[in-house]
Structure 1
């Protein structure tokens, strides 16, 4: 009997954790062939992209090389972009791969599967707002984060020459008061301080203006009101101008136009308002919702095909009667853990377990200044409110838990030690 092949599409937090677990259990014992498909050759934990965007995170130190990781954890990495699924033949259609000069490296090809897991994640949702694609940065991938950092540094450099300035203050507009927008706003002030210290710019924090715009009545609408208010107070104390109940109806060159026809002059715009699954998921012949998320059962199987599963931000998984599992990294990790067991059960002909989301709380980083959040939340409790040093340590532990799931304890311990040493050996900010 041929060895079954499990193909996981997407090397994000959930996809990489799942490939690692299956590699250690099924791949190592050759009970199944585990294939991880992704267009990128490296993995960066998505909640850290705001740090990569401001240069605080050195991607060369924190990214995971998928080729090396796959070899160490008994799965096979394959580079490629999914373009279609033939459910009858159980094959995936992959786009050709081109090099930096546009030359074809690999032609379009097919990849067979016995079981398929979609773990593609999400992208920002511009809600069809005019001008956003042309005049706003997105921070959904390492490439986009690095593009923002280049633009940010170049803008700071321009402001050293009064003749090249757009406005009297260097102004950055961030649309979206969720975790990404809030964390980026705080990180920008830390970045400006370091750029000044490294001599990149003569501007100080008093000459930087950050506008954070949120359409809802308060920041972080998915978290408690206490967390929301604390974050707002902290941001305003840094100098961030917070606009709530403020929708953006158009993005233009060097300005944002709000629903109240207010014009906010800017030098750089960032769009971080809402998420959706990549649009091509709605073209694969699977049932999806308005956000392009694949509709799945509580077992994480597609409602259309029992051999196709989905997890993380690209999956619409029921939670109760009228709600779905929220698009959070902790949900993706929990689903990866359950799905690793369910796929083993599937191969052994055993019944599949249902997914039950457990909200362990949420933490928001405010750069080196602070962190705020709730831990150990449940339907009956608001959880433990944290801020300050303790919250910073708890926030840092989230990344260590992710590293633990994909590297194991020994390597995670070494990574922690290297990070501590690099605080003394390397600059606090990456400038290239």
Structure 2
């Protein structure tokens, strides 16, 4: 077999875009050509993390093993976290892997590549806010979402015991950031809290004893989306008892409170930070051009200044054709970029000339979940160019279909249908909220 037939594609990051790209290429060319690297051994659709945090989604039932996906989709999976890059030798350097007790499982390693795709996503940006890193919890990973869920459960049990002893008090949950993550988490927490009385925490009155506050720095929540969508989401949240404060800049996070730039204090027994994102700082050490948020700068073909390296998804600073700003960090962007890059990388594997046309993002609109029976959305008419507003159960069902579309891109239609049916049946015998 000649060198051309052994062209190795290495994808770092198994998020929505990276996994879809690995699955599509793997099914066509096989594990000798396609390698996926991720620091976790399982995958979950990142927009679902707010459900994990609220306890309404069990990660141990919803995640997908990368090792299983590698076998079924025809790519090689390597467990590890990227720590550096040898561009001259064309190798990705990985950190050692340790178990939960700190024992070494895998040593430092290097993975060779002919073409590299960086798809390592993003993480929360605390903007240097004092106390945020120490006292606020971000929702960047399943581990962080589980950490918040366990803290939340502990606070619930503690407050229930105090209430049973006729003690006064409330649980204050503060969410910093009124984007999609903050809005969806607030709505999900309301539904989770409403179910507590059915699982033994019957001394609590969720409407009276649990206060959820959403703080947003912009003049309105969901500021990047249409105003009608923002106004409807705010109305639905306030109807559920959520307190919303806009034009608030949080300047300090304390153990049990938040301070804003006007000196006002907000009680916060639990604080979730969802106010912004940035790419991992490690990307700025690779010798590639990066933005101020550490995103790798790419051209219209998603290619870096190194012709053998591409970047996609949240970690890429990619031009948006027709706009004076880069592409937004959204799942549908990563999904479309995976489809685009598949054609380029397939050409490289075959030793053919790659397509020359640049990537063009088609905005199909946005959907936001505001609970399990409600949602809001703005859908773009591709042919007409008009924007259509949807609300209620229809918007919620369309939001759920996005998750299924991601699974379909990875697993195929039949397996996705079987998986969805199996999970629906399993929920019949499981509690509404995960309490362990």
Scaled to the shorter chain, the TM-score interval is over 0.9
Partner of 1:326: 328
> 1:173 aligned to 2:174?
yes
Partner of 1:15: 18
Offset from partner CA, 1:213-251 (integer Å, 9 cap, x none) = 000000001100000000001101100100000110010
Output the TM-score relative to the length of structure 2: 0.95
Partner of 1:387: 391
Offset from partner CA, 1:97-117 (integer Å, 9 cap, x none) = 111111212221211110100
**Partner SS state of residue 138, structure 2:** coil
Partner of 1:94: 94
Asked if the contact 2:7–2:348 (Cα under 8 Å) also holds between the matched residues in 1, the reply is: no
Partner of 2:296: 294
Structure 1 Cα separation of the partners of residues 167 and 203 of structure 2: 16
**Partner SS state of residue 178, structure 2:** coil
Worse-superposed segment, 154-163 or 240-249: 154-163
Partner of 1:191: 192
Partner of 1:66: 66
Structure 1, unaligned runs of 5 or more: none
Asked if the contact 2:381–2:388 (Cα under 8 Å) also holds between the matched residues in 1, the reply is: yes
**Partner SS state of residue 8, structure 1:** strand
**Could you say if the C-alpha distance between residues 185 and 382 of structure 1 is closer, same or farther in structure 2, counting changes exceeding 3 Å?**
farther
Offset from partner CA, 1:343-388 (integer Å, 9 cap, x none) = 1123333233311001111111012241001112569845111111
Partner of 1:213: 215
Asked if the contact 1:159–1:165 (Cα under 8 Å) also holds between the matched residues in 2, the reply is: no
**Could you say if the C-alpha distance between residues 379 and 269 of structure 1 is closer, same or farther in structure 2, counting changes exceeding 3 Å?**
farther
Partner of 1:237: 239
Partner of 1:359: 363
Structure 1 Cα separation of the partners of residues 241 and 381 of structure 2: 31
Structure 1 Cα separation of the partners of residues 167 and 232 of structure 2: 33
Partner of 2:35: 35
Structure 2 Cα separation of the partners of residues 356 and 292 of structure 1: 23
Output the TM-score relative to the length of structure 1: 0.96
**Could you say if the C-alpha distance between residues 165 and 58 of structure 1 is closer, same or farther in structure 2, counting changes exceeding 3 Å?**
farther
Asked if the contact 2:162–2:168 (Cα under 8 Å) also holds between the matched residues in 1, the reply is: no
Asked if the contact 2:213–2:243 (Cα under 8 Å) also holds between the matched residues in 1, the reply is: yes
> 1:374 aligned to 2:378?
yes
**Could you say if the C-alpha distance between residues 115 and 144 of structure 1 is closer, same or farther in structure 2, counting changes exceeding 3 Å?**
same
**Could you say if the C-alpha distance between residues 45 and 166 of structure 1 is closer, same or farther in structure 2, counting changes exceeding 3 Å?**
farther
Give the CA deviation at 1:96.
Answer: 1.0
Partner of 2:148: 148
Equivalent residue in structure 1 for 2:266, among 264, 283, 295: 264
Partner of 2:132: 132
Give the CA deviation at 1:94.
Answer: 1.0
Q: How many residues align?
A: 428
Give the CA deviation at 1:205.
Answer: 2.2
Asked if the contact 2:70–2:76 (Cα under 8 Å) also holds between the matched residues in 1, the reply is: yes
Structure 1 Cα separation of the partners of residues 167 and 135 of structure 2: 15
**Could you say if the C-alpha distance between residues 166 and 18 of structure 1 is closer, same or farther in structure 2, counting changes exceeding 3 Å?**
farther
Asked if the contact 2:118–2:312 (Cα under 8 Å) also holds between the matched residues in 1, the reply is: yes
Give the CA deviation at 1:40.
Answer: 0.5
Offset from partner CA, 1:176-200 (integer Å, 9 cap, x none) = 0000000000111111111222113
Asked if the contact 1:50–1:184 (Cα under 8 Å) also holds between the matched residues in 2, the reply is: yes
**Could you say if the C-alpha distance between residues 324 and 185 of structure 1 is closer, same or farther in structure 2, counting changes exceeding 3 Å?**
same
**Partner SS state of residue 425, structure 1:** coil
**Could you say if the C-alpha distance between residues 378 and 135 of structure 1 is closer, same or farther in structure 2, counting changes exceeding 3 Å?**
farther
Structure 2 Cα separation of the partners of residues 321 and 359 of structure 1: 12
Structure 1 Cα separation of the partners of residues 166 and 89 of structure 2: 58
Asked if the contact 1:58–1:430 (Cα under 8 Å) also holds between the matched residues in 2, the reply is: yes
Structure 2 Cα separation of the partners of residues 182 and 378 of structure 1: 27
Asked if the contact 2:159–2:169 (Cα under 8 Å) also holds between the matched residues in 1, the reply is: no
Q: Tell me how large the CA RMSD over aligned residues is.
A: 1.8
Asked if the contact 1:359–1:377 (Cα under 8 Å) also holds between the matched residues in 2, the reply is: no
Offset from partner CA, 1:287-317 (integer Å, 9 cap, x none) = 1001111001111111x11110111000011
Partner of 2:77: 77
Structure 1 Cα separation of the partners of residues 107 and 229 of structure 2: 50
**Partner SS state of residue 428, structure 2:** helix
**Partner SS state of residue 52, structure 1:** helix
Partner of 2:417: 413
